[in-house]
Amino acid sequence: MTTTAESRNGSSSDAALLERIRKLFAKSRSTANTHEAELFARKAAELAAHHRVDPERLMSAERHDELTIRRIELGRGAYMRARLSLLIAVADNHDARVVFQATPTGTVGLVAGFESDLDVVEVMYLSLHQQAAAQMAAIRRPTGAATQRYRRSFLFGFASRVGDLLGEARRNAESAMPGVSDDQPIGGVALVLRERGDRVTEHAEQSFGRVRAARPPAAAQAQAWSDGSEAANRVDIGRTRLAGRAELGR
């Protein structure tokens, strides 16, 4: 049985780590020194990846972490499906499941997972989207429609590459797991991760019920996709920072 003290200590530990990730993202975006920015960014990426596989955190999470659904606003308009693609890229690498729902005020991403994982997913998605939007704001084409099409494809390419980079960080964290106590060997950690993933899938199926597949998005422009993918190589998950600019409106 989980005691109040255990639950409080576990929650405060997760909150402290999340705050460190937020601060590192902020420092990486704000410093003018490229080397410093990359160091801050790399540390944020390492914290996010190792947070997921840390044996002590997993053992604590088994006692008090809760399965839940997080609502993340995706807005409306031409960029909505690309934002969804970015959200899925982040969520997939943190054992979370995503569906989306149209509402009168815009589309909402519904993300199923353990609460501590969803905190990381939300922070990383918002930060990465802000960085992509800063790049997109600088893109201009001969017409408004051409600009919109290019930006949309750019964001799809960005999201695809982010998924690759986060997957790489995840695999590196898992392969670098240190030896732990006899009652929780590395094989045991891997088993816990698989079991958590299975529980998330079951929770998502029960919570979402019947899910209807959406129509495939319109084809992306190859050059814009490539440019977006290249931009993702410079985002704040272990690469150099992007200059801060105003986020695009919905």
16: CB partners within 8 A, 6+ apart: none
User: What is the domain partition of the chain in residue ranges?
Assistant: 4-232
- How high is the pLDDT of residue 227? 86
**Two structure tokens written together for 129:** 């989207």
Q: Tokens 């995840």 correspond to what residue?
A: 170
CA dihedral 59, 63, 69, 73 (to 10 degrees): -60
- How high is the pLDDT of residue 42? 64
CA distances from 62 to 165, 196, 222, 246 (A): 28, 9, 44, 40
Alpha-carbon radius of gyration of the chain: 19
- How high is the pLDDT of residue 112? 97
CA-CA distance, 20 to 28, in Å (whole number)? 12
User: pTM for the complete prediction?
Assistant: 0.75
- How high is the pLDDT of residue 184? 47
User: What is the residue-level pLDDT of the chain in tens, covering all 250 positions?
Assistant: 333 333 334 456 677 777 887 787 677 667 666 567 666 766 776 777 777 777 766 766 665 688 999 999 999 999 999 999 999 999 998 899 999 999 999 999 999 999 888 988 998 898 888 878 888 988 999 999 999 999 999 999 999 988 888 888 788 887 776 544 444 444 567 788 888 899 999 999 999 988 877 777 877 888 888 888 888 876 656 433 334 433 333 3
- How high is the pLDDT of residue 4? 37
Going by the DSSP 8-state scheme, the letter that residue 68 receives in this structure is E
In this structure, the number of other CB atoms found within 10 A of the CB of residue 136 comes to 25
- How high is the pLDDT of residue 188? 66
CA distances from 151 to 80, 145, 189, 231 (A): 12, 10, 41, 12
- How high is the pLDDT of residue 45? 65
- How high is the pLDDT of residue 235? 66
